A and B are shown apart, each in its own frame.
Chain A
């Protein structure tokens, strides 16, 4: 299990609070839980805060949410550090999460990793100097059928190899939004190269 990169210098953020829209969303989330169980909203609220704050959570946000939910700051920090999905230090505009667990690794995650390193000049836990890309190793993203996989912010890019990873990064560098999903054109996790079964007798 790879932990979140802690060595990155975290800039000090003076204060954090929800925007009016997010505040409304937050109140809606909290309202889903029964009276006295508002603390259950800690995870969606951390996510909301992270989305509002360039995809990372400063301590100010953790303390804000602790106050918002009437929790001890330590309890919120425990949650935020437990899950790798919460970034506690700034990340790039495109935050690449490379799955390196066995199925992806068997299907060529190393080539994908090499391509990223070559193209971006950074490794896990690092951010490019222009702040555009950051990279992180994660465990199974649950898309093993289309391994190997990179998650870019909220989107999965699947069936990658070296060249297709480079092409993906090129597009991202130009801020084009490449189509997410399988890069070799598979529909969902349907077989490669089109249907393999039930192909006969479908003429009429």
Chain B
């Protein structure tokens, strides 16, 4: 533990810390461009120069290891002069186009030149110009602005795991580019925009849209996958202009996936902003009162058993609970929050959670992936596995289709047969799990959405039980969900009641004409053709598949328009915050349900969201604390029995379009075109 003095303040830092970190420890701010605490150290911008006693010249503090007894000075004339000089050099070739630069107002170079720069430039020669590079539909480049900090190169190589960015040539001719100027094929590519300290890499969809000081910033939570990334929604009026990450060390660190960041333009397209009722086979705009009348006329007097409700992937816990209570009031046991048909939930709580927690992955020393593509189902979980893989000698094996997950995976089999071999201890990987101190199994939601899903879950549980995956201080059993609503729905028991039908059952009953009405709460990933003769009430915010099949449309609020509770795949309770009101006549979903419950004669007993949330907590105490993960109890779940022979298939065939919001997004459509169409053409995978 070296002790050193920074500007007269004595600090003690861990062995291996840098002088820059010691300065931060002492509360001294050091300007920097290339240094980033989650990336490797490059030491090429020289902005962090400090004076060290007995050193002949200033040292780059980001790359200089802190030593015992060092005396560092950051407020001397020498340091000031050094910073002035570095700034002047950086600005020598940097264009002064701040007025037309999208980074303006949130630019490190701008801020630091104000704080530490020279008050004039002495460079009278021509500035160099660099041709812009094509980096796909998400990243706009103006490479003349680049100061060659190489943060983007290090991010893509180290964190995203795609070795496609680099710096070509040298000296004055140095240029950052992607290999052959191909789009950066990573689900995390958007993060290079946040990392870029200047305006060289900016968001293409957001180009020339707004200035940072015009935006309303709302701290919220992402719902594009089940990770629950912490985000900041930047909006102007009723338009969400961009989504940025917030730091949450246990969830997303400071990254977010591209769908989280860029699907927000889907929030203003294909929106349902007024109620509709189907009259003579055609959807007609209606008032709320007319809509409620249409629902009452149809449902009143109907046998509760002939009514069903399915919650979609983006529903918040409050609205699911309101719908559940409404269905109970109508006497219907047919409710299900698993529109994909995953055989999960109902048993012990640990049976549907990512128990290890996302941050816990870093402690693991062996992982078995079962029927999952974490890179698409939860890019940040994948990034965490990669981080662990880089730092330790963790062994990762996979059962399912071969994929490029940005780290080495031993693909030991394609289907349940291999899983059974591991259960029986016949497969060598069983020994690896046994020998590991903190082994993990990650079961994908796709592997559970098969007809034998419950038995796959049971087999995974057997592995957990027999190979020591679950001990007193470690739970290595994980289900990786991909829908933001799923765990929340399971937590409040949005599952078929006594004698009730599940999703598949409802679809079948509807096909046979036995289900007369179905309430879809944002459920779009269904075969709606089965509901041809069923009265479909679609409550949601996008005119997607569900709305097309609807007889009544109740316009709801998207995640940026409501305060809704979501439970992430690891069981973390988080809440979105509304950044603006729902569009047009749309309302928050629980309010719609509360309002419609009265004419239906099953009035819900809550009038405010607080009362509803109180009821939610009464139902499940695990939902009481925000940003808290209540450990799941280990007990019975899954079933025994032989699994089918069919190999595991992956549930997502297009990462960029998985829900109504991303399907309505033009940016996501452009990504689909750029990344997936290309994949098919060249025949390379991953």
Contact = CB atoms under 8 A, between A and B. Distances in A.
Interface in B157-177: 157, 163-173
A3 B179 contact: no
A59 B182 CA distance: 15
A74 B165 CA distance: 7
Nearest to B171: A1
A1 to B, nearest CB: 4
A167 to B, nearest CB: 34
A82 B169 contact: yes
Contacts of B170: 1, 3, 81-82
A78 B163 contact: no
Given A74-B179, A78-B168, A1 B163 contact: no
Contacts of A75: 163, 166
B313 to A, nearest CB: 36
A77 B163 contact: no
Interface string B135-175: 00000000000000000000001000001111111111100
B172 A1 contact: yes
Interface residues of B, number: 15
A77 B166 contact: yes
Contact of A78 (B167, B173, B178): B167
A82 B174 CA distance: 8
Given A73-B179, A77-B179, A3 B165 contact: no
A4 interface: yes
Nearest to B180: A59
A72 interface: yes
B134 to A, nearest CB: 15
Nearest to A74: B166
B166 A1 contact: no
A3 B163 contact: no
Contacts of A1: 170-173
Give the dominant DSSP class at A's interface.
helix
A35 to B, nearest CB: 16
Interface string A68-107: 0000111101100110000000000000000000000000
Interface string A1-15: 101100000000000
B149 to A, nearest CB: 16
A72 to B, nearest CB: 3
Contacts of B169: 3-4, 81-82
A3 B174 CA distance: 9
Contacts of A77: 166, 168, 179
B164 A3 contact: no
B410 to A, nearest CB: 17
B168 A81 contact: yes
Interface string B162-206: 011111111111000011100000000000000000000000000
A3 B166 contact: no
A74 B153 CA distance: 10
B9 to A, nearest CB: 41
Contacts of B172: 1, 3
A78 B166 contact: yes
A156 B165 CA distance: 37
Between A74, A78, A82, the greatest number of chain B beta carbons within 10 A of the residue's beta carbon is seen for A74
Nearest to A73: B179
A74 B173 contact: no
A77 B169 CA distance: 9
Contacts of B180: 59
Contacts of A74: 163-166, 178-179
Contacts of B173: 1, 3-4
B171 A72 contact: no
Given A1-B173, A3-B171, 12 more contacts: A3-B172, A72-B157, A72-B179, A73-B163, A74-B164, A74-B179, A77-B168, A77-B179, A78-B168, A81-B170, A82-B168, A82-B169
Name the 9 nearest CB pairs between A and B, nearest first: A72-B163, A3-B173, A74-B166, A1-B171, A81-B168, A74-B179, A78-B166, A81-B169, A82-B170
Interface of B: 157, 163-173, 178-180
25 contacts: A1-B170, A1-B173, A3-B169, A3-B171, A3-B172, A3-B173, A4-B169, A4-B173, A59-B180, A72-B163, A72-B164, A73-B179, A74-B163, A74-B164, A74-B165, A74-B166, A74-B178, A75-B163, A75-B166, A77-B166, A77-B168, A78-B166, A78-B167, A81-B169, A82-B169
